[in-house]
Amino acid sequence: MLTVPPQLVAQIQASDVQGREIIMVTGSTGGLGRAVALAFAGPGTHIIVHGRNIERGQAVVEEAEAVGSTARFLQADLGSLAQVRGLINTVKRDYNRLDLLINNAGIGRGQPNAPREESADGHELRFQVNYLSHLLITRELLPLLREGAPSRVVSVSSGAQSGGTIHFDDVMLENPPYQGSAAYGQSKLAQVFMTLDLEEELQGTGVTATAVHPGGYLDTDMVAERCVVPGDGCTPNLSPEDGAMFVVNAARSPRSGVYFNTSVIGEINPQALDTSARRRFLELSMQLIGLD
């Protein structure tokens, strides 16, 4: 495992965030996340760049600083809850508020017939990276978000949420046949569950929550991994910068507890509107991340 150089985890100076909007974007060393981080970059912001690759992370930091942001990189693999907790602890140590949390990091559907993978914690990998780790980050950083109110949580979901299903009897999808598309749809629907739970729980606190589908097939590594056969119907048709604008729109909107399909309010999977299903799922999820 890569060891993060001391300068990447050293405490920040108060002057780095004084008068600035503190924005954390998970998975922001490439693809959509990088475009989102740089879309927010400017004289009034402090960007917390997150990812696994130090060199790519530092490159984004330098790009953000070049346009007037202060910024830093924090390393963590969301496939390890221990590393996620390390990330959380660093943020809690170094910041007394958070203005905007963008849950962006994710794993796509993968190639057709790709085998099921597990996280370091033994969970189905897409379920953990796309949802469980973000649930842990969000829940543990709620005190900072309350201090930053009015503040916002934006979860980058997908149009796949509409066809997804939370498989209560097999949430880790251990029963064959495994399908990456089903795993992806479940994880993106789980983000919508989380968004609705947060909106309900945080009413009156000044902390709002939305989910957003950032457009079609973005020209990212995630899509490239899936689109292995030319002309298979998933050729990239949108740049990461275009997709980032939909995320920015969701972050700047006053709406809460909604799912944006690009820039308009989209339909939410009926399973997420079932309050008893959401309650059951939240209890299960909190147990899985050790916050029950």
Closest among 162, 100, 159, 166 to 132, alpha carbons compared? 166
Q: Which residues contact 223 (CB under 8 A, 6 or more apart)?
A: 108, 217, 234, 236
What does the alpha-carbon distance between residue 91 and residue 166 come to, in Å, rounded to a whole number? 31
- Bridging pattern class, strands 21-25 and 100-103: parallel
Tell me which DSSP letter residue 132 carries: I
Q: Answer yes or no: are the C-beta atoms of 57 and 29 closer than 8 Å.
A: yes
Query: Could you tell me the two tokens for 257?
Result: 């507890």
Q: Which residues contact 177 (CB under 8 A, 6 or more apart)?
A: none
The SS3 of residue 171 is coil
Residues marked as catalytic: 184
Place of tokens 């960007």: 47
What does the alpha-carbon distance between residue 54 and residue 156 come to, in Å, rounded to a whole number? 23
Closest among 92, 72, 76, 95 to 84, alpha carbons compared? 76
Query: Could you tell me the two tokens for 170?
Result: 């097999």
Place of tokens 């189905």: 124
Query: Could you tell me the two tokens for 248?
Result: 């920015």
Between the alpha carbon of residue 265 and those of residues 129, 242, 261, the distances in Å are 25, 18, 6
What's the length of the chain? Answer: 292
